[in-house]
Amino acid sequence: MRILNKLLFALSCTALASSAYAQQASDGVVKIGILNDQSGVYADFGGKSSVEAARMAVQDYGGKVLGVPVEIVSADHQNKPDVAASIARQWYDTEKVDAIMELTTSSVALAVQGLSKDKKKITMTTGAATTDLTGKQCSPYGFHWAYDTHALAVGTGGALVENGGNKWFFLTADYAFGYSLEDQTSKFVKSKGGQVVGAVRHPLAATDYSSFLLQAQSSGANVIGMANAGLDTANAIKQAAEFGITQGGTRLAALLFTLAEVKGLGLKAAQGLTLTEGWYWDQSDENRAFAKKFMDKTGRMPNMIHMGTYSSVLQYLKAVEKAGTDATEPVAKLLHEMPVQDIFAKNGKVLPNGRMVYDMYLFQVKKPEESKSDWDMYKQLAKIPGDSAYMKVADSGCQVTQ
Amino acid sequence: MAVGTQYIAEQPKLRTSSKVLGAIAIAALLAAPFFFYPVLLMSILCFALFACAFNLLIGYVGLLSFGHAAFFGGAAYFTAHAAKVWGWEPLAAILLGVAGAAVMGLLMGFLAIRRQGIYFAMITLALSQMFAFICLQVPFTHGEDGIQGVPRGYLLGILDLNEPLTMYYVTLAIFLFGFFIIWRIVNSPFGNILKAIRENERRAVSLGYRVDRYKLGAFVMSAALAGLAGGTKAIVFQFATLTDVNWQMSGEVILMTLLGGIGTLIGPVVGASLVIALQKYFAAWNFPVTVLIGIIFVICVLLFRRGIVGEILELMKRRQKGAA
């Protein structure tokens, strides 16, 4: 017990010291918090590299806004909504953080956006997929930047049909996220004239996909759509490669997969995979130059999550500059109005529900022999204009439309 | 029964000093929100109560449950649903969570107590995983999004829980209530029989106790108290998600209890405070938190197997013996 008290006392001293420091500094600083998974399953997807991306955005902006320095703080929420919520609350209450970004995984993003709505603070989500962020649970101060399930479904579902993949078989993770991806994607497949010949549900975190894949193969489909995420997708792709499914002419379409995961899987297993992303480093000279800078700092090429975080920080700083203040209301209003024009989004715009709309791309993973360098992994198949990729405000179910 | 008699013999000596210590601890808890961030403290209190409830089972009956997350997370879902969808008053919603957890405890316990040791742990793990998959599937939990935006509301229609300090003192009151109940259980004749079962089950049977009933009773109480912690957490954080029903959460509560000291009343509280504070304060570090907690766990198991509080108590006991 005495030890406990001593511990409490010691901790209270450090807490006091750190909060006193924060208050002193908060007088003349704009603080942005990057809250994401830095040690768990999504650490590659965003993680520390996203924090670096945010720092690059601050640097590229000049390090200062309205004459005061910009500071990036970051924390690892360990995929726990309660850890995320208590960090977010503390950032707002005692450390004067002005906005929180990235927010990997849906439960975390919804929780933090919800409490930020109560606290009247801005959140810009790049790491979560759910359309609820700008739908039923939207907030006047909440923005959704990089991608969402709708855009992925339109991209992979719609655009791939136009590209010849018209008979679909779904391999769906057996929970809400999987169903919603499958539903949305089938809708677009059908609207483009394709057909869905079957679907099979696999338990979350399954390790053996052989029976599901054989079922898919015998269905006569020419596309296997993988309505799952992360490790599930990676395992299914690996096993499909072992079965020689892609060599047989059937295409694999991953609904949520980024450059980071493709790199992790390797070209040998991932070749031929079709996926939708919002950015690729080898698309233009400008992108290549940026990616090189990013590579020097983090040792990896950025995916759309890293770039989305970069873009959201940059746009936030532009809005603060233009508003002449870091107060939430005027900045949020400007964020809704200002066009997004940076390395990540060309001619992007923000809908009244907080959804940032920009062009998405359908990519195919190269064969090992086509790849010229370590990170040379995508071939662009199609461009999906933002207006068709993202949900209309009227369909989103968001009530805070101004 | 050796432990029981030993305990009774020690009791008078501990009484006065433990009263003083208890008073200091309560005073510290009352003053804490002025020094620490209230949400962090509330989080610690919820997990501490959860760990205490778990400890009731492992520390005093010797049953290692690997499925306590089901009660904790299940109650969080019940409470969140009642408060958000049905618009229940927060205390009633929490009580619903407790009742739900108790019913689940009765069902799970009924099946699990028939086996011992590793089999008991595996049955509880299996049943709690089944529950976790149900939570993933049924519509009212909203899958991986979780139930979000649960209103804190007004306690008994009067106290505004949106005030952080009010919420803190309500959480503290719930924690102390739960802790008091555990203390009462442990120091009751019922508790002594539980300890007898832990020490030597066959002898307890031969003494004429219906061991299964006692075990089931303890299991249900532990589940209900874990539910109290989970329901309170849902109101504090205003959401209920899959994180709380996953098996990792069952593992985490074992970790908290082991770090603090199994079979000591205050140990789980210390363990929970340590784990939650680490998760929070080291979130901004460059070093992965999970690895850090793992390292601490390994050190703890290698160097002080009785846990932090367990070792301190042992040290005190040895000193007393030396003095006498």
Q: What is the DSSP string of B2-28?
A: HHHHHHHHHHHHHHHHHHHHHHHHHHH
Which residues of B touch chain A, with CB atoms under 8 Å apart?
21, 24-25, 28, 32, 35-37, 39-40, 43, 133, 136-137, 142-146, 148-149, 233, 237-239, 241-243, 266, 270, 273, 277, 279-280, 283-286, 288-291, 308, 312
- Is this prediction's ipTM beyond 0.85? no
- CA dist A303 and A284 (Å) reads 15
Alpha helix (H) residue ranges in B68-210: 68-84, 90-112, 117-137, 164-186, 189-199, 201-206
Q: List Cβ<8 Å contacts ≥24 apart for B166-174.
A: B167/B38, B167/B42, B167/B235, B167/B236, B168/B33, B168/B38, B168/B41, B168/B42, B169/B30, B171/B42, B171/B45, B171/B46, B171/B232, B171/B236, B172/B29, B172/B30, B172/B45, B174/B45, B174/B49, B174/B94, B174/B228, B174/B232
Q: Do B37 and A39 touch (CB under 8 A)?
A: no
CB-CB: which of B144, B277, B289 is closest to A39? B289
Return the residue matching tokens 């919820």.
B46
Q: What is the per-residue pLDDT for A45?
A: 84
Q: What is the per-residue pLDDT for B2?
A: 43
Mean pLDDT of B74-95: 93
- CA dist A371 and A398 (Å) reads 43
Band (A160; pLDDT cuts 50, 70, 90)? confident
Band (B14; pLDDT cuts 50, 70, 90)? low
Band (A178; pLDDT cuts 50, 70, 90)? confident
CB atoms within 10 A of CB B43: 25
Distance from CA of B107 to the nearest CA of A (A): 25
- Residue B17 corresponds to which tokens in the numbers above? 């000093």
CB atoms within 10 A of CB A238: 16
Looking at the structure, give the CATH architecture of the domain made up of residues A2-147+286-358. Answer: 3-Layer(aba) Sandwich (3.40)
Distance from CA of A176 to the nearest CA of B (A): 5
Position A220: which residue type?
G
Contact list in A for residue B273 (CB cut-off 8 A) is: 4
Interface test with A, best of B18, B239, B276, B308 (most A CBs within 10 A): B239
Q: Which residues on adjacent β-strands are paired with residue A123?
A: A100, A142
CA A67 to chain centre: 31
Domain boundaries, chain B: 31-245
Q: Do A81 and B137 touch (CB under 8 A)?
A: no
A320 contacts A338 by C-beta, under 8 angstroms:
no
CB-CB: which of B28, B37, B142 is closest to A176? B142
Q: Is the pLDDT score of A165 beyond 90?
A: no
Q: What share of chain A is helix, strand, coil (3-state, %, to 5)?
A: 45, 20, 35
Distance from CA of A204 to the nearest CA of B (A): 9
pLDDT in tens, A83-128: 899 899 989 988 889 999 999 888 899 999 999 998 999 999 999 9
Distance from CA of A178 to the nearest CA of B (A): 10
Return the residue matching tokens 């992108």.
A287
Contact list in A for residue B136 (CB cut-off 8 A) is: 174-176, 204
| pTM across the whole model | 0.83
Q: What is the per-residue pLDDT for B159?
A: 84
Rounded to 5 degrees, φ, ψ at B251 are: -70, -40
Return the residue matching tokens 């508003």.
A323
Instruction: Measure the CA dihedral A123/A126/A129/A130, to 10°.
Output: 10
Q: What is the per-residue pLDDT for A338?
A: 94
Class of domain A150-277+360-389: alpha beta
How many CA atoms lie less than 13 Å away from A327 in the CB half-sphere? 5
- Residue A198 corresponds to which tokens in the numbers above? 């079957």
CA A151 to chain centre: 11
- CB neighbour class for A198 (10 Å; exposed up to 12, middle 13-18, buried from 19): middle
DSSP secondary structure string for all residues of A223-236 = EEEEE--HHHHHHH
Average pLDDT of the residues of chain B: 88
Dihedral sign, CA of B136, B139, B145, B147? negative
Q: Do B288 and A38 touch (CB under 8 A)?
A: yes
Q: What is the per-residue pLDDT for A378?
A: 94
- CA dist B208 and B235 (Å) reads 44
Band (B15; pLDDT cuts 50, 70, 90)? low
Higher pLDDT, A122 or B302: A122
Return the residue matching tokens 């959140």.
A123
Considering only alpha carbons, which residue of chain B is nearest residue A116?
Answer: B149
Distance from CA of B91 to the nearest CA of A (A): 21
Band (A23; pLDDT cuts 50, 70, 90)? very low
A279 contacts A260 by C-beta, under 8 angstroms:
no
- CA dist A327 and A314 (Å) reads 17
pLDDT in tens, A201-221: 988 778 899 999 989 988 889
Q: What is the per-residue pLDDT for A159?
A: 84
B304, containing H or E segment: none
- CB neighbour class for B157 (10 Å; exposed up to 12, middle 13-18, buried from 19): exposed
Domain boundaries, chain A: 2-147+286-358, 150-277+360-389
Interface test with A, best of B19, B42, B148, B259 (most A CBs within 10 A): B148
CB-CB: which of B36, B239, B289 is closest to A78? B289
